[in-house]
Amino acid sequence: MGLIDGKVAIVTGSGAGLGQSYAQALAREGASVVVNDFSPEAAEGTVRGIVDAGGKAVANVADVGSIEGGESLLKSALDAFGRVDILVNNAGILRDASLVKMEESQWDAVMHVHVKALYAATKPVFTWMKENGSGGVIVNTTSTAGIRGNFGQSNYSAAKCGAIGFTNSLAIEGKKFGIRAWNIAPAAATALTAHMPDEYKKVFHIDRVAPTLLYMVSDLSGEQTGKTLMAGGGWVGECRFEVTDGFVPGEDLSAHDIAKAAEEGQIFFPDRPAKWVTAYGPQSE
């Protein structure tokens, strides 16, 4: 018996890489899967692999950054399987450049796939879950670049930080309807990390992220929602934004008072190494 027998899952950008790994893992655990990709060949290839292994899957070829594409995801799920229980917003691209060299087209392309797609793909699925009273789980993809930033990725970092805010709001809106929302921040060797050394690619194999996704979308995670899990290389940990105890000024306040409080450690967190289990440092995917 699988973890998610009888469930129906949609995975965007699942023609290859992490999305394909997610789709295969979901199918192995009993879900019927809608495999979305912009490439018909890639989507069909993932579907064939799932079906050949005894699973259930159908292809959806659409640009999930458009309203029409997002609506087609839901239609594919309902037409093939009659319902939807899980949505994994995984589709992504990179258009790296330092800010002074970044073209408007590079900024817009990343926002289209990483931000507009959150709205376009999630709205119809969330609406169906709410109106049918069936609940569900939505997993959005963030990144260490959205949490810590990364050189040459101001577009990608902005988009991935935006995913966290989107998910936090979605978790609040969905709670009374039994709709849970998560962020996953994967570190994995994919086409987006082709420049990394072979040792990284071995440790951070894409299939070492999927177990975390399965935990998030299954009953194993109970009623947890609105949280971000970093996952990769066999390591899993929660990431969250926190606020210091802060400085409470007297009736009069000056910039000098703030500077003094900062020197005394009342405003900023202490500097400390990033919590990430790799010698390669924080990764953007």
Segment 41-65 shows an average pLDDT of: 98
Q: Is 156 noted as a catalytic residue in this protein?
A: yes
| Residue 282 and residue 150 in contact, taking contact as beta carbons nearer than 8 Å | yes
pLDDT of 274: 63
**Which pLDDT tens digit goes with each residue over 87-108?**
999 999 999 999 999 999 999 9
Highest mean pLDDT among 73-82, 192-201, 226-235: 73-82
For 271, other C-beta atoms within 10 Å of its C-beta total 5
DSSP state of 97: B
Q: Which of 191, 225, 219, 195 is nearest to 13 (CA)?
A: 191
Band (pLDDT 50/70/90 cuts) for residue 204 is confident
For CA atoms 14, 20, 21, 27, the dihedral sign is: positive
Segment 172-189 shows an average pLDDT of: 95
pLDDT of 191: 65
Confidence check: pLDDT of 283 > 80: no
DSSP state of 184: E
Decide: residue 274, CB within 10 A, 0-12 exposed, 13-18 middle, 19+ buried.
exposed
Return the minimum-mean-pLDDT range out of 15-24, 93-102, 148-157, 264-273.
264-273
Determine which one of 156, 200, 215, 280 is catalytic: 156
Q: Which CATH number is 8-239 given? A: 3.40.50.720
Segment 33-57 shows an average pLDDT of: 98
**Amino acid, single-letter form, for residue 116:** K
Q: What is the pTM of this model?
A: 0.92
CA separation for the pair 218, 67 (Å, rounded): 28
Confidence check: pLDDT of 184 > 80: yes
**Amino acid, single-letter form, for residue 262:** A
Domain residue ranges in the chain: 8-239
Place of tokens 């009993």: 30
Q: What are the CA-CA distances from residue 196 to residues 8, 22, 90, 202 (Å)?
A: 35, 22, 21, 10
**Which pLDDT tens digit goes with each residue over 238-277?**
999 999 999 999 888 999 999 999 999 999 999 877 655 4
Q: Which distant-in-sequence residues (6+ apart) come within 8 Å of 255 by Cβ?
A: none
Identify the residue with better confidence: 187 or 103: 103
Return the minimum-mean-pLDDT range out of 139-143, 234-238, 278-282.
278-282
| Residue 95 and residue 110 in contact, taking contact as beta carbons nearer than 8 Å | yes
Q: Which of 17, 43, 55 is nearest to 209 (CA)?
A: 17
Confidence check: pLDDT of 116 > 80: yes
Return the minimum-mean-pLDDT range out of 161-170, 200-209, 217-226.
200-209
CA separation for the pair 5, 67 (Å, rounded): 30
Q: Which of 198, 269, 208 is nearest to 234 (CA)?
A: 208
Confidence check: pLDDT of 281 > 60: no
Place of tokens 């970093």: 230
